[in-house]
């Protein structure tokens, strides 16, 4: 069993911002795999289903970024999930736009959502899916940068990233992060029948 968490801020003001890329990713996966929505639970939007024979739940905390851990903790305790069964999708300024990295554990690099999840779970040993948003221009406030919407050109790159994630999800659910990365870097070729 796994819990997919998309970090972001609630409300239309933040919906399309860089800081909500984790939220966008999990919502995209839920739609692609036709996962059910159970409405509001655990202080967020919640649902679940099965992918590749694996039972999973998804959660979009509506507590604001710096309190994300409260929603994650409630869901994890209810389903008796281990920290390593929690998969957190989040924006990352240390990665170029459109790049993805995956790991278990590590620091929070100043990300308030990760800090909150780590504090509530009591450990950094959860899975992180790091989604690159790039760095702000010199002299620009990083907080302002992540709370702005993607440009039209950036959105094309982000949409390509989101479209690639479903192919990697089964490996993520198995805990095979190298295999998931391989699917993102080397997606299977389309057959002549699918073109």
Encode pLDDT of 10-53 as tens digits. 988 898 899 999 999 999 999 999 999 999 999 999 999 999 88
Query: Which pLDDT band, with edges at 50, 70 and 90, does 189 fall under?
Result: low
Write out the catalytic residue numbers.
19
R_g of the chain computed on alpha carbons: 16
Residue 195 has pLDDT above 50, yes or no: no
Residue 186 has pLDDT above 60, yes or no: yes
Q: How far apart are CA 53 and CA 55, in angstroms?
A: 7
Cα three-residue angle 61-63-66, rounded to 5 degrees: 100
Mean pLDDT of the chain: 92
Sheet arrangement for strand 127-132? 36-41, 44-51, 54-61, 2-6, 86-92, 127-132, 100-104
- DSSP notation for 151-190: PHHHHHHHHHHHHHHHHHHHHHHHT-HHHHHHHHHSPPPP
Q: CATH number of the domain that 91 lies in?
A: 3.40.50.1470
| CB contact burial 148-187 (16+ within 10 A = b; e otherwise) | eebeeeeeebbeebbeebeebbbbbbeeebeebbebbeee
Q: Which residues on adjacent β-strands are paired with residue 127?
A: 87, 104
Structural domain range at position 27: 2-194
Number of domain units in the chain? 1
Residue range 110-125: mean pLDDT, rounded: 93
Structure confidence at residue 109 (pLDDT): 81
Contact 60, 44 (CB under 8 A): yes
The answer to pTM > 0.95 is no
Q: How far apart are CA 131 and CA 87, in angstroms?
A: 13
Structure confidence at residue 164 (pLDDT): 94
Total residues belonging to the chain: 195
Between 78 and 140, where is the model more confident? 78
Structure confidence at residue 187 (pLDDT): 62
Q: How far apart are the first and last CA of the chain?
A: 35
DSSP SS3 for 1: coil
Structure confidence at residue 78 (pLDDT): 97
Structure confidence at residue 139 (pLDDT): 87
Cα three-residue angle 141-17-180, rounded to 5 degrees: 110
Structure confidence at residue 188 (pLDDT): 62
Residue 146 has pLDDT above 70, yes or no: yes
């Amino acid at each position: 069993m796994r819990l997919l968490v998309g970090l972001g801020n609630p409300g239309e003001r933040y919906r399309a911002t860089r800081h909500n890329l984790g939220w966008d990713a999990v919502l995209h996966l839920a739609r692609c795999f036709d996962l059910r929505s159970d409405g509001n639970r655990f202080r967020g939007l919640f649902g679940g289903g099965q992918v590749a024979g694996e039972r999973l739940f998804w959660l979009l905390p509506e507590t604001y970024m710096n309190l994300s851990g409260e929603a994650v903790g409630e869901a994890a305790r209810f389903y008796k999930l281990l920290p390593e069964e929690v998969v957190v999708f989040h924006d990352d300024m240390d990665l170029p736009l459109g790049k993805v990295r995956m790991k278990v554990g590590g620091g929070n690099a100043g990300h308030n959502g990760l800090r909150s999840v780590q504090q509530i779970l009591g450990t950094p040993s959860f899975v992180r899916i790091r989604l690159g948003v790039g760095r702000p221009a010199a002299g620009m406030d990083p907080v302002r940068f992540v709370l702005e919407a993607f440009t039209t050109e950036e959105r094309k790159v982000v949409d390509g990233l989101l479209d690639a994630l479903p192919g990697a999800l089964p490996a993520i659910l198995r805990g095979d992060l190298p295999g998931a990365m391989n699917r993102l870097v080397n997606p299977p070729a389309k057959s002549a029948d699918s073109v």
